[in-house]
Amino acid sequence: MPDPWEPLTDGRILGYTPREPMDLQSVKPEKGIELTSLHAAFLDDSVLVVSDLHLGLEAVLHMQGVGVPKWQRGVMVPRLDALLRHYNPERVVVNGDFKHNFSRNLGQEWREAAQVLRMLREQAAVTLVKGNHDNYIESMAQSAGVPVQPRVELERFTLVHGHEEVDSDRRIVVGHEHPAIMLRDEVGARVRMPCFLVGPEVIALPAFSPLSSGTDVTSTVTGRGEHFTPVFEGVDADSLRVFAVGEGEVLDFRTLGELRSIRGL
């Protein structure tokens, strides 16, 4: 039986029904930094960066007794397809937590990692930055011919996952935090929106995984809770600009300090 996710000759991936065209909006807070509505950043006009795919998360939830359909791949593959088509990047960097399970490589992780890496390699050079969930990822990457590194140095940026302290004279780009903002209305309805955080020292990316809902940055990065990502310890959190990912758009919420003041935090 043919693999339903086998790439076609034009790069398209079978196994899902893409929207034509898929919504992809972006903002450019600075030259060389483009933040997209598909949870990815495009840096220096050549490098596409995504973080925290957490492939195999559904299998881990199943082992914990949570019945979740295996649907992440059906969301993330179309996103990646749209990003590759739109930007035609020279390089793709997965900035940590490509897979989810800590103790071993699960069957779902092997299958999905092979499919995603094959898709990415057909379009660009690929590097995996090792995250805290990426135990035993080297065997997966080696079989696909993809390097695994603790960090990636670009001309203006250092790409690291963010779970460990890092020293760099470049602007640091991290994942790990799964940043999001929680919005509430007057009757108590709430919505959580993944977001980018942009400051002069650091940029934080939202999780690419649709099942990783995110950490409310108004209470964690600001000093009112524990710092999850060590790089934020020395950062003026109130000055970070918040760009939230909505349905097909990127929304500028100005700075985290302004957002907190509006919410009365």
What is the reported pLDDT for 130? Answer: 96
Contacts of 80 by beta carbon, 8 Å cutoff, 6+ apart: 50, 116, 119, 120
Q: Enter the pTM of the model.
A: 0.87
What is the reported pLDDT for 102? Answer: 64
Q: Is it the case that residue 58 has pLDDT exceeding 90?
A: no
What is the reported pLDDT for 72? Answer: 81
What is the reported pLDDT for 215? Answer: 82
Q: Is it the case that residue 263 has pLDDT exceeding 80?
A: no
Name which residue leads in pLDDT, 215 or 106. Answer: 215
What is the reported pLDDT for 71? Answer: 73
Distances (CA, A) of 237 to 47, 77, 195, 216, 257: 26, 33, 14, 13, 7
Range in 63-67, 119-123, 144-148, 189-193 with the lowest mean pLDDT: 63-67
Q: Where exactly are the structural domains of the chain?
A: 26-263
pLDDT band for 247, please (50, 70, 90 cuts): confident
What is the reported pLDDT for 221? Answer: 60
Q: Is it the case that residue 19 has pLDDT exceeding 60?
A: no
> Which residue has tokens 């995996």?
128
Contacts of 185 by beta carbon, 8 Å cutoff, 6+ apart: none
Q: For the chain, what is the mean pLDDT? A: 84
pLDDT tens digits, 71-126: 788 889 999 999 999 999 999 999 999 887 667 667 777 788 888 999 999 999 99
What is the reported pLDDT for 8? Answer: 39
Q: Is it the case that residue 265 has pLDDT exceeding 90?
A: no
What is the reported pLDDT for 69? Answer: 66
The CATH class given to the 26-263 domain equals alpha beta
What is the reported pLDDT for 60? Answer: 63
| Mean pLDDT (whole number) for 26-43 | 97
